[in-house]
Copies of this chain bind each other. A is one copy, B any other.
Amino acid sequence: MITRMSQLFLRTLREDPADAEVPSHKLLVRAGYIRRAAPGVYSWLPLGLRTLRKLENVVRAEMDALGGQELLFPALLPREPFDTTGRWTEYGEELFRLQDRRGTDMLLGPTHEEMFAATVKDLYSSYKDFPVTLYQIQTKYRDEARPRAGILRGREFVMKDSYSFDMTDAGLEEAYAKHRAAYQRIFDSLNIDYVICKATSGAMGGSASEEFLAVSPTGEDTFVRATEGDYAANVEAVVTPPAAERDVSGLPEAVVHETPDAETIDTLVEWANGAGVTVDGRAVTAADTLKTMTVIVSEPGVEEDELVGVLIPGDRELDVKRLEASLEPAEFRLAEGEDFEKYPFLIKGYIGPKGLNDSGVRVLADPRVATGTSWITGADEKRRHVVGLVAGRDFTVDGHVEAAEVKEGDPAPEGQGTLTLARGIELGHIFQLGRKYTEAFDMQILDENGKRAVPTMGSYGIGVSRMMAVLAEQNHDDKGLKWPVAVAPYQVHVAVANKDAAAMEAGDTLVEELDAAGVEVLFDDRPKVSPGVKFKDAELLGMPFAVILGRAFADGKVELRIRGGETHEVAADEIVDKVIELVRG
């Protein structure tokens, strides 16, 4: 097909939009692919819609190939199924809620586990109907607290969500593996630089879960990668290797010291080294000290909140997101003023694990706090610390928790070197949900023995519109976008940059020939636009190949420009074959 720029509904902008900070946002707006309608809500202009549809088709082909069946649920949903799973409230402010004219509660679907589970329950009743994988490519709604970066994190966005239903755990694992492989094919085919991260399951529930993160400095998610090996994980999912346990016999006794000026970890270390305190014969560092934090935990369904102690080595900050993920589904907050009044045994600034043990407070510790490890920590008295307090001898740990920050250089698991920190954009997420949703809907299926059994479920998402932003992030230069051939709005950009009538005629013939060969052509036929502006637009719009009928046309030559690559001079009568060859890859 041929689209003529003289007709195309497009205005390119030379200036970045005022609200744009990241390259994909700036370029997609400047090149007229998208246009802001409201915060986090964008219109798809003709070029943008073409690329979006192509991306949908790349995803659709892989979903069909793994046996997925496409259907389409409404975006406007009733409240009831979300009450069944509790997500009407659990989803919090991110859910767009509304009422219809009768005052009935409704919502705009952020994801569709409930609808799929309820529908499979309605239609299917026998193990013979399983396994089944269903998917949709649909507009979804989430009222993000901070919509940002154009279509990178929108409030209305296009998502592919699929759901597998299996009678056995092995079946779920197979469906999960098929999706994982399909996602790899999708992202690989588009040359996206991404990692597969072990992830926590968050509000979705379920067990195994991995995130596909596009590597990008503009990403909102921090992840870690091993320096040697392919380990990668969401920071929330990083598991701290437990310290080796030591025999406590023969370790020096704990001694309480007056520490009048040691109110921070730094001043405590300074005091210890000034006072000649050593650990295993060496000088004290922050890693030898232990922070004892107190948090108030609410378990869902438990009325009374619980005071809990959290121990982390003094050289690390508390990572609130990691602690959240570790305690989920319970929620927590840091203990504050009135909590200290309620629990007078908490001596603020000098809380230690021993005092918590003595008062019957549950103590959760970083895995580095293993039996036999010795610590400098609060002595549960004002202006006093204790040196040589040994876990498993002087205090008891009731369980482990991932609450400490992950640092560059931390050891990677399984001897894969150390961890490096990087930023990424979540492209996809695959979950082995298990039976959380099927049980909530009481999906009873007759198994081979005529007994009732509950199927197990997987849920798999790809942010299709976000993928477009990711491609723009990873494929651009300071002049504009650089699309992969497979999803460029058009495969080739033809521009006539020569005022000669013969050049325009030749351009017409060229685009007709390309069209006849099945090539999608964007034709810059604008008669009164200067060559300079045409070149700039071609670079900004970012088709992978451009053919320029310029000055050399008089000598029977045209320019073939590879976007972001070299420019070749090609004989005018060879250009059609050359372009077809490039487009077909």
With a cutoff of 8 Å between Cβ atoms, the chain B residues found around residue A124 in the complex are 11
With a cutoff of 8 Å between Cβ atoms, the chain B residues found around residue A10 in the complex are 123
A537 within 8 A of B: no
One of A44-52, A348-356, A409-417, A506-514 contacting the partner: A44-52
Contact B69 A43 (CB under 8 A): no
Set B32, B72, B98: member contacting A49, Cβ < 8 A: B72
Complex CA–CA separation, A78 to B139 (angstroms): 17
| In the complex with contacts A38-B78, A96-B98, A101-B145, A9-B155 CB distance below 8 A | no
| In the complex with contacts A9-B123, A41-B76, A77-B38, A93-B98 CB distance below 8 A | no
A327 within 8 A of B: no
Per the 8 Å Cβ criterion, residues 154-204 of A in contact with B are: 155-156
Interface residue tally on A, bucketed by range: 35 or more
Complex CA–CA separation, A494 to B156 (angstroms): 41
Complex CA–CA separation, A9 to B124 (angstroms): 9
Set B45, B75, B106, B122: member contacting A75, Cβ < 8 A: B75
Set B43, B71, B76, B97: member contacting A156, Cβ < 8 A: B76
Report the minimum CB–CB distance from A67 to chain B (whole Å).
7
Contact B76 A115 (CB under 8 A): no
With a cutoff of 8 Å between Cβ atoms, the chain B residues found around residue A73 in the complex are 37, 43-44
Report the minimum CB–CB distance from A162 to chain B (whole Å).
12
A312 within 8 A of B: no
Contact A75 B37 (CB under 8 A): no
The 0/1 profile, CB within 8 Å of B marked 1, for residues 69-91 of chain A is 11111111110000000000000
Contact B78 A8 (CB under 8 A): no
Smallest Cβ-Cβ distance to A133: which chain B residue: B9
A449 within 8 A of B: no
Report the minimum CB–CB distance from A88 to chain B (whole Å).
14
A149 within 8 A of B: no
| In the complex with contacts A46-B70, A46-B71, A72-B44, A123-B78 CB distance below 8 A | no
Among the interface residues A100, A122, A124, which one has the most CB atoms of the partner chain B within 10 A?
A100
Complex CA–CA separation, A44 to B112 (angstroms): 14
A119 within 8 A of B: yes
Contact A43 B132 (CB under 8 A): no
| In the complex with contacts A93-B101, A108-B76, A124-B11, A43-B71 CB distance below 8 A | yes
Contact B38 A71 (CB under 8 A): no
Among the interface residues A10, A139, A145, which one has the most CB atoms of the partner chain B within 10 A?
A139
Set B77, B97, B101: member contacting A98, Cβ < 8 A: B97
Report the minimum CB–CB distance from A12 to chain B (whole Å).
10
Set B37, B122, B143: member contacting A74, Cβ < 8 A: B37
Complex CA–CA separation, A156 to B46 (angstroms): 24
Complex CA–CA separation, A143 to B122 (angstroms): 27
Complex CA–CA separation, A145 to B100 (angstroms): 10
With a cutoff of 8 Å between Cβ atoms, the chain B residues found around residue A540 in the complex are none
Smallest Cβ-Cβ distance to A109: which chain B residue: B37
Complex CA–CA separation, A447 to B352 (angstroms): 80
Complex CA–CA separation, A156 to B48 (angstroms): 25
Report the minimum CB–CB distance from A20 to chain B (whole Å).
16
Complex CA–CA separation, A37 to B139 (angstroms): 17
Contact B42 A74 (CB under 8 A): yes
Report the minimum CB–CB distance from A3 to chain B (whole Å).
8
Contact B156 A9 (CB under 8 A): no
Report the minimum CB–CB distance from A224 to chain B (whole Å).
31
Smallest Cβ-Cβ distance to A95: which chain B residue: B101
| In the complex with contacts A98-B97, A100-B96, A101-B145, A37-B69 CB distance below 8 A | no
Contact A75 B119 (CB under 8 A): no
| In the complex with contacts A35-B119, A37-B115, A143-B101, A71-B45 CB distance below 8 A | yes
Contact B9 A76 (CB under 8 A): no
Smallest Cβ-Cβ distance to A157: which chain B residue: B74
Report the minimum CB–CB distance from A70 to chain B (whole Å).
6
If A8-B69, A43-B119, A93-B101 are given as contacts, then 10 extra A-B residue pairs at C-beta distance below 8 Å, sorted by A number, are: A7-B69, A9-B123, A11-B123, A35-B119, A37-B73, A38-B78, A43-B72, A49-B72, A75-B139, A100-B143
| Contacts A/B (CB < 8 Å), 28 sampled | A7-B67, A8-B69, A9-B69, A9-B123, A9-B132, A10-B123, A35-B119, A37-B74, A37-B77, A37-B78, A38-B76, A38-B77, A38-B106, A41-B74, A41-B78, A42-B74, A43-B72, A46-B69, A46-B70, A49-B70, A49-B71, A74-B156, A75-B156, A76-B96, A76-B155, A96-B100, A100-B155, A101-B143
